[in-house]
């Protein structure tokens, strides 16, 4: 009788959230792997390290930038999903859209490796970064405010702050990329710091107050 009850509990357990996280981790890992696969020694390489940097400087820079972007979004996704109690079809759809955008990053990275951090290819690249971040923010917004997929005791003020932080992440990375492309825009970075710092400070205060 006890074994039957245990088997019944196992069948009733919802593994959808766990499977969604596993799928997401796999896609992020593949996206990072594809970045490295795209790298190849330049033609007429003189087999020196300096020659490798001269011939692949743009490609290596695009790799480092894209690796950082993927790593930041993976870490953000991991921390966000730690607050979810379950999933539904809407959350799954948002997550699949996000993964579809992430898998485009190796292609976008190739664009800026060939064209540099300027012109329309760079606009496409930063637009993709922003789209991934907006999708992540909308996913949290749905889970926290509509789908009720997070702990009901999580304060509403903290939910709002976390939503703002998720919106700031892609904006900050897009601004950072823009500053790399044109250093004359350094003042935009100062504005971003002035906006971001108080929000992050408030988030930590709210988390501490909520005992999180």
Instruction: Note the pLDDT tens digit of each residue in 100-118.
Output: 999 999 999 999 888 877 7
Q: What is the pLDDT of residues 61-76, one digit of tens each?
A: 888 889 999 998 999 9
Q: For residues 129 and 28, what is the distance between their CA atoms, to the nearest angstrom?
A: 14
Backbone dihedral region of 148: left (phi > 0), alpha (psi from -120 to 50 degrees) or beta? left
Residues 6+ apart with CB under 8 A from 27: 99, 102, 103
Distances in Å between the Cα of 138 and the Cα atoms of 35, 57, 113, 165, 176 are: 27, 36, 30, 12, 22
Residue 198 has pLDDT above 80, yes or no: no
Q: What is the pLDDT of residues 31-52, one digit of tens each?
A: 999 998 877 776 777 667 676 6
This prediction's pTM: 0.77
């Amino acid at each position: 009788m006890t074994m039957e009850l245990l088997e019944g509990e196992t069948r009733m357990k919802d593994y959808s959230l766990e499977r969604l996280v596993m799928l997401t981790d796999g896609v992020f890992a593949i996206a990072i792997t594809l970045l490295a696969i795209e790298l190849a020694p330049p033609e007429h390489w003189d087999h020196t390290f300096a020659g490798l940097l001269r011939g692949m400087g743009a490609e290596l820079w695009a790799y480092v930038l894209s690796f950082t972007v993927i790593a930041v979004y993976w870490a953000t996704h991991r921390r966000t999903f730690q607050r979810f109690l379950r999933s539904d079809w809407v959350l799954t759809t948002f997550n699949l859209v996000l993964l579809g955008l992430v898998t485009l990053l190796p292609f976008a990275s190739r664009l800026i490796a060939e064209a540099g951090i300027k012109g329309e290819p760079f606009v496409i690249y930063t637009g993709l970064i922003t789209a991934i971040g907006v999708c992540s923010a909308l996913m949290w917004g749905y889970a926290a405010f509509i789908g009720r997929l997070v702990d009901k005791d999580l304060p509403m003020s903290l939910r709002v702050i976390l939503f703002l932080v998720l919106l700031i992440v892609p904006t900050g990375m897009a601004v950072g990329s823009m500053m790399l492309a044109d250093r004359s825009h350094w003042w935009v970075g100062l504005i971003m710091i002035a906006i971001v710092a108080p929000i992050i400070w408030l988030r930590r205060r709210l988390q501490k107050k909520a005992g999180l």
